[in-house]
Structure 1
Amino acid sequence: MTESTALTPFRIDIPQADLDDLRDRLARTRWPHPVPGRDDPHDFSRGIPLPYLRELAEYWRDGFDWRAQEARLNELEQLTTVVDGQTLHVVHVRSSDPAATPLLLNHGWPGSFIEYERIIPLLADDFHLVIASPPGFGFSTPLASTGWELARTTDAFAEIMSRLGYERFAVHGTDIGSGVAGRLAAVYPERVIGMHLGIDRAVLGLVGAVFPRPDGLSEVEAAELDAILAASAAERGYLEMHNHRPDTIGAALTDSPVGLLAWIGEKFKVRSGDGYGAPVVDRDQLLADVSLYWFTRSGASSAQFYYEGAHSGVMPLMGGPVPSAWAAFDTHPLLRRTMDPANRIEHWSDFTEGGHFPAMDAPELLVADLRGFLRGLS
């Protein structure tokens, strides 16, 4: 059979029974016994601290309004389409200018299309915006098969842009979305107008595994890099589980809302623009994202993306012969020396603010950088 290329309108409508079930599960949470000395809600040295988690869970149960979030998200045009057997969810916001540049926004884990909600109105005058959820994320569920990794997802997203009528478009990405954006630029250079990536100092944790150690480091710089590598190694437990045992952690993330909240909430806390300080990422936006993972059971299915990537043999492609821009948030002097030692990236921006989720914790900076880079490209 020939696969349908239909674009089907989509509206979020979580059954009330699912909301009632979530509230009931939160009310019946079986909490761990407190560990003596672990009563500081700002101490994430062993993971998410119990006092912080309890407060967040209580607000999720009694203060957070999913229906208000749902109504606002439904103001966005949404659709689903089937590519290579997989249903994929897409947000499509058309500019009032028919000649506006199409811009594909790509997210990673533990983000979702909700990650970009606050920059949509800031960009919609200048760009036709497309946000496609990768297989296993959000409403791009359930997974129809195994084998959905970076290369297959990239091809699927290129097909989605064709179905929307966009043969030429710009791309932006963070986290896993950086891999999709980079691969689109490398594999489809005739279609990609420009590639914009958002990174933060967390990528320095990949030095030695993916990126070579910069040459000529001073003793102070070497010590700083070693400290960053140690901090990165200390929080990579989730990555090892996703890469090697997604089924095991997936069962817990699907059955326990507090387990899911801890798994995702820690990353938003420590990787937002102020590290372990007061949250920069808005609490309601964070919980809307966690709720999306809960209602779609994508805590389990999104982890499969990591397993597929770790076992696919597909290497990341960080761009091609197209104009490229890298925006470094929560930057560090070693970032460019590591990622672009020859200074070949023509548009590089350093920001001390922001973090791993710039669309959430530094939206104005991200929007200004995107506009500045894409202005004049066609």
Structure 2
Amino acid sequence: MGDRRSANVSYPAPRPPESRRGAPCPPLSNPRAQENRPIPRAVPQPDLDDLRRRLDHTRWPQPLPGTGWSDGASLDHVRALAGYWATGFDWRAQEARLNAFPQFTTEIDGQRVHFLHIRSPEPDALPLLITHGWPGSVAEFTEVIGPLTDPRGHGGDPADAFHVVIPSLPGFAFSAPPREPGWGIRRIATAWTELMRRLGYERYGTQGGDFGSLISPEAARVAPTRVVGVHVNALVTVGAADPADLAVPEELTPAERSRLAARERWHRELSGYAAIQGTRPQTLSYGLADSPSGQLAWNLDWFAAHGDKPDALDRDAVLTNVSLYWFTNTAGPSARLYKEAASAWATPPERSGVPTGVAVFQGDTAIRRLAEPHHTITRWSEFGAGGHFAAMEVPELLVGDVRTFFRALR
């Protein structure tokens, strides 16, 4: 099917950039950006039919008996979820849910960027730029958009309202695959800064997890006078010294020791996907572009926290994200971000002076003493629940921490 999935997607006539509550979005200042195109309102039915046919005809691998999740995504789990994807999952309902949010595309630095833009009904709302990671998408945030933009309507304080901007990373879903190398952390952060300028936002906060925990602080380094604060979850601490050089074991808290052990386990047992995507993304893409079951298994291995809690995430939420990768044929372009970010993994970032809040959810491996050399941490919150995808797993906890952190920065 290849590129036909992208080429045949239909676009409706552009509609005015308005939120569901009717608050007008500020116009993009770039004349080319005025040609806003909404995302596809409907995946063509032949593409849905083709997905089901491919799922029905999957040739399943033969695992070593009794391995479960120890060698990767469990065959029983993937097979069951693929069956539900083919016969029970309602893509049209998820599609309509996404289409309820106003979203557009614009070109920045030669790259077509897709973004959600939801204006708060509160006139004094603070703009907030949110960035996802892999294997996520803008669909991760459907549960937090309402409480963030309209706290009054969700039992909160209207003074905590945000105007929300959520871009799709280059090569993910409806953002076009990059046409040249070089789209790493810094370049994306610079593009996000330009997007916020075009939207008329000169003062705003940033938030993100996974890759978003790298890009959101970098956006503050790019524009420190415009970003009032950075909030991250699933913080990736890169370029840090060996933890053994920073503290002796008795100086570590029990939680920090557990996180160090989790970091070591990830490097030892679970980092294969990152090594492949960081070195051979094109080779990987052939199998994922041709097999929806392969795409499902590859993404599910991370969504399921590598088997530690394979059912933590709602299966419809997982399949919505996987479907976005499949229908847009972006397995390869999204995987390439790991290769583009290779230098960021190894090079310590310069210290950011912008106030930074870190939310540590269950399973995160962030350690404050490793993060402090690179961030001005003014809030550090630890939760005994949640996981890597906090916006999907514990949206109320994430929203509460974001509100609290930015309250003093408005």
Same fold flag (TM > 0.5): yes
- Counterpart position of 1:299: 331
Q: Which is worse superposed, 142-151 or 238-247?
A: 142-151
8 Å contact kept, 1:212–1:338:
no
Taking the aligned partners of 1:242 and 1:323, their CA distance within structure 2 comes to 32
Match of 1:232 among 266, 282, 293: 266
Judged with a 3 Å threshold, the aligned counterparts in structure 2 of structure 1 residues 98 and 7 are, in CA distance, closer, same or farther, namely: farther
Match of 2:378 among 310, 326, 346: 346
Residues 1:20 and 2:83 aligned together:
no
Structure 1 counterpart SS, 2:367: helix
Residues 1:210 and 2:245 aligned together:
no
Taking the aligned partners of 2:365 and 2:106, their CA distance within structure 1 comes to 43
Taking the aligned partners of 1:7 and 1:212, their CA distance within structure 2 comes to 49
- Counterpart position of 2:4: none
Taking the aligned partners of 2:345 and 2:403, their CA distance within structure 1 comes to 35
Judged with a 3 Å threshold, the aligned counterparts in structure 2 of structure 1 residues 331 and 346 are, in CA distance, closer, same or farther, namely: farther
Taking the aligned partners of 1:225 and 1:349, their CA distance within structure 2 comes to 15
Q: What do residues 337-375 of structure 1 show as CA deviations (whole Å, max 9, x unaligned)?
A: 433389962211011111111101111110000000111
Judged with a 3 Å threshold, the aligned counterparts in structure 2 of structure 1 residues 374 and 210 are, in CA distance, closer, same or farther, namely: same
Residues 1:191 and 2:201 aligned together:
no
- Counterpart position of 1:116: 141
- Counterpart position of 1:57: 82
Q: RMSD over aligned Cα, in angstroms?
A: 2.6
Structure 2 counterpart SS, 1:117: helix
Shift in Å, 1:3? 8.3
Shift in Å, 1:211? 4.0
Structure 2 counterpart SS, 1:37: coil
TM-score by length of 1: 0.89
Match of 2:39 among 11, 30, 39: 11
Percent same amino acid among aligned pairs?
43
Taking the aligned partners of 2:316 and 2:374, their CA distance within structure 1 comes to 42
Pairs within 5 Å for 1:272-311: 276-277=308-309, 279-310=311-342
Q: Which is worse superposed, 123-132 or 2-11?
A: 2-11
Match of 1:36 among 65, 87, 101: 65
Taking the aligned partners of 1:333 and 1:113, their CA distance within structure 2 comes to 23
8 Å contact kept, 1:179–1:316:
no
TM-score by length of 2: 0.83
Q: What do residues 149-184 of structure 1 show as CA deviations (whole Å, max 9, x unaligned)?
A: 111111111111111111111000111111110111
Match of 1:137 among 142, 155, 172: 172
Length, aligned pairs only: 365
Residues 1:330 and 2:358 aligned together:
no
Unaligned runs of 5+ in 2: 1-29, 151-160
Q: Which is worse superposed, 338-347 or 18-27?
A: 338-347
Taking the aligned partners of 1:247 and 1:341, their CA distance within structure 2 comes to 35
Q: Which is worse superposed, 277-286 or 221-230?
A: 221-230
- Counterpart position of 1:81: 106
8 Å contact kept, 2:354–2:376:
no
Unaligned runs of 5+ in 1: none
Judged with a 3 Å threshold, the aligned counterparts in structure 2 of structure 1 residues 102 and 343 are, in CA distance, closer, same or farther, namely: closer
Q: Which is worse superposed, 287-296 or 332-341?
A: 332-341
Taking the aligned partners of 1:82 and 1:341, their CA distance within structure 2 comes to 35
- Counterpart position of 2:158: none
Match of 1:104 among 107, 112, 129: 129
Shift in Å, 1:21? 0.7
Taking the aligned partners of 1:210 and 1:336, their CA distance within structure 2 comes to 11
> What letter is aligned with 2:319?
L
